[in-house]
């Protein structure tokens, strides 16, 4: 820690603070990555794989970064030649191909 951060914490504890956990703040809740939105994006990609992240984000009305996370982490798809496609490794090709056929 830097000296300035240490001085800030010393001041906070001397003023009566007893915990190092953050105080709750008001702000926008992070609720964009829901099962409902994941299902919507899955359906959108099934219908048209040539959509951009921006186009999908506009249809679902959430930000593009969240759409990218849903596509890559939740749906396990990657951008390949202007189409969203599942990544198939050489080791698990037959297993992944059957799952790919079921998913899309």
DSSP class per residue in 47-100: H-TT--HHHHHHHHTS-HHHHHHIIIIIS-EEEETTEEEE---STTHHHHHHHH
**Mean of pLDDT values over 18-44:** 82
Give the domain extent around 38: 31-103
**Mean of pLDDT values over 20-36:** 77
Residue 20 lies in a domain: no
Query: Which pLDDT does position 87 carry in this prediction?
Result: 56
Residue 26 exposed, middle or buried by CB count within 10 Å (0-12, 13-18, 19+): exposed
Residue 7 lies in a domain: no
**Mean of pLDDT values over 95-100:** 54
Residue 42 lies in a domain: yes
Share of the chain above pLDDT 70, in %: 71
- Residue 23 confidence (pLDDT) above 50: yes
Query: Which pLDDT does position 91 carry in this prediction?
Result: 47
- With b for 16 or more beta-carbon neighbours within 10 A and e for fewer, the 53-92 pattern comes to beebbeebebeeebbeebbeeebebeeeeeebeeeeeeee
Residue 36 lies in a domain: yes
**Mean of pLDDT values over 8-13:** 90
Say how far apart CA 100 and CA 75 lie, in whole Å.
Answer: 11
Residue 15 lies in a domain: no
Residue 48 lies in a domain: yes
Residue 89 lies in a domain: yes
User: How many structural domains comprise the chain?
Assistant: 1
pTM equals: 0.53
CATH classification at residue 71: 1.10.10
Residue 98 lies in a domain: yes
- Residue 47 confidence (pLDDT) above 60: yes
12 Cβ contact list (under 8 Å, min separation 6):
none
Confidence of residue 19 (pLDDT cuts 50, 70, 90): confident
């Amino acid at each position: 820690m830097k000296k300035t951060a240490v001085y800030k914490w010393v001041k906070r504890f001397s003023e009566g603070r007893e915990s190092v956990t953050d105080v709750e703040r008001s702000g926008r809740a992070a609720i964009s990555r829901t099962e409902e939105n994941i299902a919507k994006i899955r359906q959108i990609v099934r219908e048209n794989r040539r959509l951009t992240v921006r186009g999908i984000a506009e249809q679902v009305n959430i930000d593009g970064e969240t759409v990218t996370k849903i596509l890559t982490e939740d749906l396990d798809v990657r951008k390949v030649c202007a189409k969203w496609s599942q990544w198939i490794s050489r080791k698990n090709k037959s297993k992944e191909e059957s799952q790919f056929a079921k998913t899309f």
